[in-house]
Protein backbone atom coordinates (compact mmCIF):
# COMPACT_ATOMS: atom_id res chain seq x y z
CA UNK A 1 0.00 0.00 0.00
CA UNK A 2 1.32 3.44 -0.91
CA UNK A 3 1.98 6.00 1.77
CA UNK A 4 -0.20 9.11 1.82
CA UNK A 5 1.89 11.63 -0.11
CA UNK A 6 0.50 14.84 1.30
CA UNK A 7 -1.97 16.11 3.89
CA UNK A 8 -3.67 19.51 4.06
CA UNK A 9 -5.93 20.45 6.96
CA UNK A 10 -8.97 22.67 6.48
CA UNK A 11 -9.06 24.45 9.83
CA UNK A 12 -12.67 24.96 10.88
CA UNK A 13 -12.52 24.26 14.63
CA UNK A 14 -14.41 21.11 15.56
CA UNK A 15 -15.44 20.71 11.90
CA UNK A 16 -11.82 20.66 10.67
CA UNK A 17 -10.95 17.93 8.20
CA UNK A 18 -8.06 16.44 6.30
CA UNK A 19 -7.45 16.47 2.57
CA UNK A 20 -5.19 13.53 1.70
CA UNK A 21 -3.46 13.74 -1.68
CA UNK A 22 -1.48 11.00 -3.38
CA UNK A 23 -1.52 8.03 -5.74
CA UNK A 24 -3.76 4.99 -5.21
CA UNK A 25 -5.56 6.51 -2.23
CA UNK A 26 -8.82 4.76 -3.14
CA UNK A 27 -7.16 1.58 -1.89
CA UNK A 28 -6.74 3.27 1.51
CA UNK A 29 -10.25 4.75 1.62
CA UNK A 30 -11.69 2.11 3.96
CA UNK A 31 -8.87 2.47 6.46
CA UNK A 32 -8.90 6.28 6.35
CA UNK A 33 -12.68 6.52 6.71
CA UNK A 34 -12.89 3.85 9.45
CA UNK A 35 -10.30 5.64 11.56
CA UNK A 36 -12.30 8.89 11.45
CA UNK A 37 -15.85 7.54 11.39
CA UNK A 38 -15.82 4.15 13.11
CA UNK A 39 -18.74 1.79 12.71
CA UNK A 40 -20.49 3.62 9.89
CA UNK A 41 -22.32 2.41 6.79
CA UNK A 42 -22.12 4.33 3.54
CA UNK A 43 -23.83 5.22 0.27
CA UNK A 44 -21.44 5.85 -2.61
CA UNK A 45 -22.75 8.32 -5.18
CA UNK A 46 -20.99 8.22 -8.53
CA UNK A 47 -21.57 8.56 -12.26
CA UNK A 48 -21.72 5.79 -14.80
CA UNK A 49 -18.29 6.58 -16.31
CA UNK A 50 -16.46 6.87 -12.99
CA UNK A 51 -18.21 3.74 -11.69
CA UNK A 52 -16.62 1.67 -14.45
CA UNK A 53 -13.15 2.97 -13.63
CA UNK A 54 -13.05 3.19 -9.81
CA UNK A 55 -16.18 1.96 -8.01
CA UNK A 56 -15.17 -1.68 -7.49
CA UNK A 57 -11.85 -0.63 -5.89
CA UNK A 58 -13.63 1.73 -3.51
CA UNK A 59 -16.21 -0.89 -2.50
CA UNK A 60 -13.43 -3.46 -1.90
CA UNK A 61 -11.42 -1.02 0.18
CA UNK A 62 -14.46 -0.17 2.34
CA UNK A 63 -15.33 -3.85 2.71
CA UNK A 64 -11.81 -4.71 3.84
CA UNK A 65 -12.23 -2.13 6.61
CA UNK A 66 -15.62 -3.56 7.61
CA UNK A 67 -17.65 -0.71 6.04
CA UNK A 68 -20.84 -1.71 4.22
CA UNK A 69 -21.80 0.32 1.16
CA UNK A 70 -24.60 0.77 -1.31
CA UNK A 71 -23.89 2.43 -4.69
CA UNK A 72 -25.97 4.98 -6.59
CA UNK A 73 -24.72 5.55 -10.16
CA UNK A 74 -26.15 8.47 -12.13
CA UNK A 75 -25.66 9.60 -15.73
CA UNK A 76 -22.45 11.60 -16.23
CA UNK A 77 -22.72 15.31 -17.05
CA UNK A 78 -23.95 18.68 -15.82
CA UNK A 79 -27.64 17.73 -16.31
CA UNK A 80 -27.25 15.46 -13.27
CA UNK A 81 -27.07 18.54 -11.01
CA UNK A 82 -30.88 18.56 -10.96
CA UNK A 83 -33.81 18.14 -8.58
CA UNK A 84 -34.58 14.76 -10.18
CA UNK A 85 -31.09 13.44 -9.50
CA UNK A 86 -31.16 14.90 -5.98
CA UNK A 87 -34.39 13.03 -5.32
CA UNK A 88 -32.83 9.81 -6.61
CA UNK A 89 -29.83 10.19 -4.29
CA UNK A 90 -31.95 11.13 -1.27
CA UNK A 91 -34.26 8.21 -1.93
CA UNK A 92 -31.34 5.80 -2.35
CA UNK A 93 -29.78 6.93 0.93
CA UNK A 94 -33.09 6.58 2.80
CA UNK A 95 -33.87 3.21 1.15
CA UNK A 96 -30.52 1.94 2.43
CA UNK A 97 -31.69 3.02 5.91
CA UNK A 98 -28.61 5.11 6.55
CA UNK A 99 -28.63 7.20 9.70
CA UNK A 100 -27.29 10.66 10.37
CA UNK A 101 -24.00 9.24 11.68
CA UNK A 102 -23.50 7.22 8.49
CA UNK A 103 -21.86 8.75 5.43
CA UNK A 104 -22.54 9.69 1.85
CA UNK A 105 -19.38 9.25 -0.24
CA UNK A 106 -19.02 11.26 -3.47
CA UNK A 107 -16.90 9.37 -6.01
CA UNK A 108 -16.51 11.53 -9.10
CA UNK A 109 -16.00 15.05 -10.42
CA UNK A 110 -17.60 18.34 -9.43
CA UNK A 111 -21.12 17.41 -10.52
CA UNK A 112 -21.22 14.31 -8.31
CA UNK A 113 -19.48 16.10 -5.41
CA UNK A 114 -21.87 19.07 -5.46
CA UNK A 115 -24.98 16.93 -5.83
CA UNK A 116 -24.16 14.32 -3.22
CA UNK A 117 -22.85 16.91 -0.76
CA UNK A 118 -26.21 18.66 -1.03
CA UNK A 119 -28.02 15.36 -0.43
CA UNK A 120 -25.78 14.66 2.59
CA UNK A 121 -26.50 18.17 3.87
CA UNK A 122 -30.28 17.75 3.85
CA UNK A 123 -30.99 14.06 4.54
CA UNK A 124 -31.78 13.67 8.25
CA UNK A 125 -30.74 17.35 8.61
CA UNK A 126 -27.14 16.64 7.78
CA UNK A 127 -25.27 13.36 7.39
CA UNK A 128 -21.55 12.71 7.33
CA UNK A 129 -20.00 13.35 3.95
CA UNK A 130 -16.74 12.16 2.35
CA UNK A 131 -15.35 13.40 -0.95
CA UNK A 132 -13.34 11.15 -3.27
CA UNK A 133 -12.79 13.57 -6.19
CA UNK A 134 -11.62 12.01 -9.46
CA UNK A 135 -11.11 15.07 -11.70
CA UNK A 136 -8.39 17.70 -11.31
CA UNK A 137 -11.01 20.43 -11.01
CA UNK A 138 -12.74 18.57 -8.19
CA UNK A 139 -9.45 17.77 -6.41
CA UNK A 140 -8.25 21.38 -6.34
CA UNK A 141 -11.53 23.23 -6.04
CA UNK A 142 -15.02 21.80 -5.75
CA UNK A 143 -14.33 19.02 -3.21
CA UNK A 144 -12.77 21.50 -0.77
CA UNK A 145 -14.69 24.08 1.22
CA UNK A 146 -18.20 22.72 1.63
CA UNK A 147 -20.10 24.39 -1.22
CA UNK A 148 -22.75 21.95 -2.43
CA UNK A 149 -25.76 22.26 -4.69
CA UNK A 150 -27.61 21.78 -7.93
CA UNK A 151 -28.52 23.99 -10.89
CA UNK A 152 -31.79 25.81 -11.49
CA UNK A 153 -33.28 26.63 -14.88
CA UNK A 154 -32.45 30.22 -13.85
CA UNK A 155 -28.73 29.58 -13.38
CA UNK A 156 -25.98 27.29 -12.17
CA UNK A 157 -25.45 26.43 -8.49
CA UNK A 158 -28.39 28.53 -7.33
CA UNK A 159 -29.79 25.90 -4.94
CA UNK A 160 -27.64 24.39 -2.23
CA UNK A 161 -26.17 24.48 1.26
CA UNK A 162 -22.75 24.78 2.85
CA UNK A 163 -21.94 21.31 4.14
CA UNK A 164 -18.32 20.46 4.91
CA UNK A 165 -17.01 16.95 4.31
CA UNK A 166 -15.34 14.94 7.08
CA UNK A 167 -12.53 13.88 4.76
CA UNK A 168 -11.33 14.50 1.20
CA UNK A 169 -9.33 11.73 -0.49
CA UNK A 170 -7.72 13.04 -3.66
CA UNK A 171 -6.36 9.94 -5.40
CA UNK A 172 -4.02 11.40 -8.01
CA UNK A 173 -3.95 8.10 -9.96
CA UNK A 174 -7.54 8.77 -11.06
CA UNK A 175 -6.26 11.73 -13.10
CA UNK A 176 -4.42 9.37 -15.45
CA UNK A 177 -7.71 8.51 -17.14
CA UNK A 178 -8.79 12.14 -17.77
CA UNK A 179 -8.76 13.48 -21.32
CA UNK A 180 -6.01 16.07 -21.92
CA UNK A 181 -8.72 18.70 -22.38
CA UNK A 182 -10.35 17.90 -19.03
CA UNK A 183 -6.99 17.92 -17.24
CA UNK A 184 -6.08 21.29 -18.79
CA UNK A 185 -9.44 22.75 -17.81
CA UNK A 186 -8.82 21.72 -14.18
CA UNK A 187 -5.35 23.22 -14.39
CA UNK A 188 -6.90 26.66 -14.90
CA UNK A 189 -8.07 26.49 -11.27
CA UNK A 190 -4.55 25.49 -10.17
CA UNK A 191 -3.05 28.55 -11.89
CA UNK A 192 -5.81 30.64 -10.30
CA UNK A 193 -4.39 30.11 -6.79
CA UNK A 194 -1.04 31.52 -7.91
CA UNK A 195 -2.77 34.50 -9.45
CA UNK A 196 -4.94 35.19 -6.40
CA UNK A 197 -2.26 35.55 -3.75
CA UNK A 198 0.66 33.14 -4.35
CA UNK A 199 3.03 34.73 -6.86
CA UNK A 200 5.78 32.22 -5.97
CA UNK A 201 3.44 29.37 -6.82
CA UNK A 202 2.59 30.97 -10.17
CA UNK A 203 6.30 31.31 -10.91
CA UNK A 204 6.82 27.65 -9.93
CA UNK A 205 4.00 26.64 -12.30
CA UNK A 206 5.56 28.66 -15.14
CA UNK A 207 8.71 26.57 -14.66
CA UNK A 208 7.19 23.19 -13.77
CA UNK A 209 3.85 22.92 -15.57
CA UNK A 210 5.12 20.21 -17.91
CA UNK A 211 5.95 17.97 -14.92
CA UNK A 212 2.55 18.76 -13.41
CA UNK A 213 0.91 17.61 -16.64
CA UNK A 214 3.00 14.46 -16.93
CA UNK A 215 2.23 13.28 -13.36
CA UNK A 216 4.37 12.23 -10.43
CA UNK A 217 5.54 14.38 -7.55
CA UNK A 218 5.13 17.77 -9.24
CA UNK A 219 1.48 16.99 -9.87
CA UNK A 220 0.88 15.99 -6.26
CA UNK A 221 2.73 19.13 -5.14
CA UNK A 222 0.60 21.39 -7.37
CA UNK A 223 -2.62 19.82 -6.05
CA UNK A 224 -1.44 20.11 -2.44
CA UNK A 225 -0.45 23.77 -2.92
CA UNK A 226 -3.84 24.47 -4.49
CA UNK A 227 -5.71 22.77 -1.64
CA UNK A 228 -3.56 24.63 0.90
CA UNK A 229 -4.39 27.94 -0.80
CA UNK A 230 -8.09 27.18 -0.85
CA UNK A 231 -8.11 25.79 2.70
CA UNK A 232 -6.58 29.03 4.02
CA UNK A 233 -9.21 31.17 2.36
CA UNK A 234 -12.08 28.89 3.43
CA UNK A 235 -10.80 28.81 7.03
CA UNK A 236 -10.95 32.61 7.26
CA UNK A 237 -14.24 33.07 5.39
CA UNK A 238 -16.24 29.85 5.24
CA UNK A 239 -19.54 31.45 4.17
CA UNK A 240 -18.19 33.94 1.61
CA UNK A 241 -18.84 37.14 3.47
CA UNK A 242 -15.50 38.52 2.29
CA UNK A 243 -12.24 36.97 1.12
CA UNK A 244 -13.71 33.74 -0.20
CA UNK A 245 -14.99 35.74 -3.18
CA UNK A 246 -11.34 35.91 -4.32
CA UNK A 247 -11.80 32.30 -5.44
CA UNK A 248 -14.04 33.73 -8.14
CA UNK A 249 -11.08 35.24 -10.00
CA UNK A 250 -11.87 34.76 -13.69
CA UNK A 251 -15.35 33.48 -12.91
CA UNK A 252 -17.42 36.59 -13.66
CA UNK A 253 -16.22 36.77 -17.26
CA UNK A 254 -16.00 32.97 -17.37
CA UNK A 255 -19.58 32.34 -16.24
CA UNK A 256 -20.84 34.91 -18.77
CA UNK A 257 -19.01 33.09 -21.56
CA UNK A 258 -20.36 29.72 -20.37
CA UNK A 259 -23.89 31.13 -20.43
CA UNK A 260 -23.29 32.82 -23.80
CA UNK A 261 -22.25 29.44 -25.27
CA UNK A 262 -25.28 27.80 -23.62
CA UNK A 263 -23.10 25.50 -21.53
CA UNK A 264 -22.20 23.63 -24.71
CA UNK A 265 -19.15 21.66 -23.58
CA UNK A 266 -18.03 21.09 -27.17
CA UNK A 267 -17.34 24.85 -27.28
CA UNK A 268 -16.35 25.72 -23.72
CA UNK A 269 -16.03 23.87 -20.42
CA UNK A 270 -15.94 25.61 -17.03
CA UNK A 271 -12.16 25.61 -16.58
CA UNK A 272 -11.66 27.01 -20.07
CA UNK A 273 -14.12 29.79 -19.26
CA UNK A 274 -12.12 30.49 -16.09
CA UNK A 275 -8.86 30.60 -18.09
CA UNK A 276 -10.26 33.18 -20.52
CA UNK A 277 -11.89 34.97 -17.58
CA UNK A 278 -8.57 35.21 -15.70
CA UNK A 279 -6.80 36.60 -18.76
CA UNK A 280 -9.63 39.11 -19.25
CA UNK A 281 -9.60 40.08 -15.54
CA UNK A 282 -5.87 40.89 -15.87
CA UNK A 283 -6.35 42.84 -19.13
CA UNK A 284 -9.29 44.71 -17.62
CA UNK A 285 -7.12 45.54 -14.60
CA UNK A 286 -4.54 47.01 -17.01
CA UNK A 287 -7.26 49.11 -18.62
CA UNK A 288 -8.29 50.36 -15.17
CA UNK A 289 -4.63 51.36 -14.50
CA UNK A 290 -4.32 48.82 -11.70
CA UNK A 291 -1.86 46.32 -13.16
CA UNK A 292 0.97 46.41 -15.68
CA UNK A 293 0.62 45.10 -19.23
CA UNK A 294 3.63 42.85 -18.53
CA UNK A 295 1.68 40.98 -15.85
CA UNK A 296 -1.34 40.49 -18.14
CA UNK A 297 1.01 39.22 -20.82
CA UNK A 298 2.62 36.77 -18.38
CA UNK A 299 -0.80 35.29 -17.63
CA UNK A 300 -1.68 35.02 -21.32
CA UNK A 301 1.70 33.48 -22.17
CA UNK A 302 1.29 30.81 -19.49
CA UNK A 303 -2.27 29.90 -20.48
CA UNK A 304 -1.16 29.70 -24.12
CA UNK A 305 1.85 27.52 -23.17
CA UNK A 306 -0.32 24.91 -21.44
CA UNK A 307 -2.80 24.90 -24.33
CA UNK A 308 -5.68 26.69 -22.60
CA UNK A 309 -7.82 29.26 -24.41
CA UNK A 310 -7.06 32.80 -23.19
CA UNK A 311 -9.14 35.17 -25.34
CA UNK A 312 -12.77 35.22 -26.44
CA UNK A 313 -11.72 34.54 -30.03
CA UNK A 314 -10.41 31.11 -28.93
CA UNK A 315 -13.99 29.91 -28.40
CA UNK A 316 -15.24 28.10 -31.53
CA UNK A 317 -18.34 29.62 -33.17
CA UNK A 318 -19.90 33.06 -32.84
CA UNK A 319 -20.41 34.86 -29.55
CA UNK A 320 -23.28 37.23 -28.75
CA UNK A 321 -22.29 40.91 -28.98
CA UNK A 322 -20.69 42.90 -26.13
CA UNK A 323 -24.06 44.24 -24.86
CA UNK A 324 -25.42 40.71 -24.57
CA UNK A 325 -22.25 39.53 -22.79
CA UNK A 326 -22.63 42.39 -20.31
CA UNK A 327 -26.22 41.21 -19.78
CA UNK A 328 -24.92 37.78 -18.77
CA UNK A 329 -22.44 39.39 -16.39
CA UNK A 330 -25.23 41.44 -14.80
CA UNK A 331 -27.24 38.25 -14.24
CA UNK A 332 -24.30 36.70 -12.40
CA UNK A 333 -24.91 36.26 -8.68
CA UNK A 334 -22.10 38.61 -7.73
CA UNK A 335 -24.23 41.63 -8.72
CA UNK A 336 -25.14 43.60 -5.60
CA UNK A 337 -27.85 46.26 -5.94
CA UNK A 338 -27.04 46.84 -9.60
CA UNK A 339 -23.30 47.46 -9.19
CA UNK A 340 -20.76 45.04 -10.60
CA UNK A 341 -18.34 43.19 -8.35
CA UNK A 342 -15.22 41.81 -10.01
CA UNK A 343 -12.05 40.18 -8.79
CA UNK A 344 -9.38 42.45 -10.22
CA UNK A 345 -5.64 42.54 -9.67
CA UNK A 346 -2.70 44.83 -8.99
CA UNK A 347 -0.34 42.23 -10.49
CA UNK A 348 0.54 38.53 -10.31
CA UNK A 349 -0.71 37.22 -6.96
CA UNK A 350 -2.26 40.56 -5.98
CA UNK A 351 -5.94 40.00 -6.63
CA UNK A 352 -8.60 41.91 -4.73
CA UNK A 353 -12.37 42.30 -4.59
CA UNK A 354 -13.42 45.37 -6.57
CA UNK A 355 -16.93 46.59 -5.82
CA UNK A 356 -18.78 49.26 -7.83
CA UNK A 357 -17.02 48.53 -11.13
CA UNK A 358 -18.75 50.77 -13.70
CA UNK A 359 -20.76 48.76 -16.24
CA UNK A 360 -19.79 51.29 -18.94
CA UNK A 361 -16.08 50.41 -18.48
CA UNK A 362 -16.87 46.70 -18.73
CA UNK A 363 -18.92 47.27 -21.86
CA UNK A 364 -16.14 49.29 -23.52
CA UNK A 365 -13.64 46.58 -22.61
CA UNK A 366 -15.87 43.81 -24.00
CA UNK A 367 -16.33 45.76 -27.25
CA UNK A 368 -12.59 46.26 -27.65
CA UNK A 369 -11.84 42.59 -26.98
CA UNK A 370 -14.76 41.06 -28.85
CA UNK A 371 -13.64 38.82 -31.71
CA UNK A 372 -16.69 39.56 -33.89
Q: Point out which residues bind ligand GLY (CB under 6 A).
A: 141, 145, 147, 244, 247
In the complex, least distance from residue 147 CB atom to ligand GLY, rounded to whole angstroms: 5
In the complex, least distance from residue 277 CB atom to ligand GLY, rounded to whole angstroms: 13
Where are any strands of DSSP class E within the chain?
A: 6-10, 17-22, 42-47, 69-74, 103-108, 128-133, 150-152, 155-159, 167-171, 335-336, 339-345, 351-357
In the complex, least distance from residue 92 CB atom to ligand GLY, rounded to whole angstroms: 26
Q: Cα(372)–Cα(357) distance, rounded to whole angstroms?
A: 24
Q: Cα(320)–Cα(61) distance, rounded to whole angstroms?
A: 49
Cβ nearer to ligand GLY, comparing 30 with 117: 117
Cβ nearer to ligand GLY, comparing 54 with 244: 244
Cβ nearer to ligand GLY, comparing 30 with 110: 110
Q: Which of 200, 110, 326, 148 is nearest to 208 (CA)?
A: 200
In the complex, least distance from residue 8 CB atom to ligand GLY, rounded to whole angstroms: 15
Say how many residues make up the chain: 372
- Is-contact 43 265, C-beta < 8 A? no
- Is-contact 103 117, C-beta < 8 A? no
Cβ nearer to ligand GLY, comparing 166 with 192: 192
In the complex, least distance from residue 244 CB atom to ligand GLY, rounded to whole angstroms: 5
In the complex, least distance from residue 181 CB atom to ligand GLY, rounded to whole angstroms: 20
Helices and strands (H and E) in the chain: how many: 14, 12
243 burial level (CB within 10 Å; 0-12, 13-18, 19+): middle
Cβ nearer to ligand GLY, comparing 92 with 145: 145
CA torsion sign, 126 to 132 to 135 to 136? Answer: positive
Q: Cα(82)–Cα(160) distance, rounded to whole angstroms?
A: 11
Cβ nearer to ligand GLY, comparing 247 with 256: 247
Q: Residue with the closest Cβ to ligand GLY?
A: 247
- Is-contact 99 124, C-beta < 8 A? yes
In the complex, least distance from residue 287 CB atom to ligand GLY, rounded to whole angstroms: 25
Q: Virtual CA dihedral for 142, 146, 152, 155, nearest 10 degrees? A: -60
In the complex, least distance from residue 145 CB atom to ligand GLY, rounded to whole angstroms: 4
In the complex, least distance from residue 95 CB atom to ligand GLY, rounded to whole angstroms: 31
351 burial level (CB within 10 Å; 0-12, 13-18, 19+): buried
Cβ nearer to ligand GLY, comparing 244 with 302: 244
Cβ nearer to ligand GLY, comparing 54 with 228: 228
Residue 17, SS3?
strand
Q: Cα(333)–Cα(248) distance, rounded to whole angstroms?
A: 11
Cβ nearer to ligand GLY, comparing 54 with 192: 192
Amino acid sequence: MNEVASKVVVGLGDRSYDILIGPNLIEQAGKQIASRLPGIRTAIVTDENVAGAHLARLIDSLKAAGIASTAIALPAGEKTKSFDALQEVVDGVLAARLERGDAVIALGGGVIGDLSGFAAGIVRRGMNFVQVPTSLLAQVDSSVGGKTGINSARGKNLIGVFHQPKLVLADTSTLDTLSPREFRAGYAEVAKYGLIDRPDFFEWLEKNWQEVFSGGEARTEAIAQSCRAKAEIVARDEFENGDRALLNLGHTFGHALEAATRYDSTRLVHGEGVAIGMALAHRFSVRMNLASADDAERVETHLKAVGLPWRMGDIPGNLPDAEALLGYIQQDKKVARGTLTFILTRGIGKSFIAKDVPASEVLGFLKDNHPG
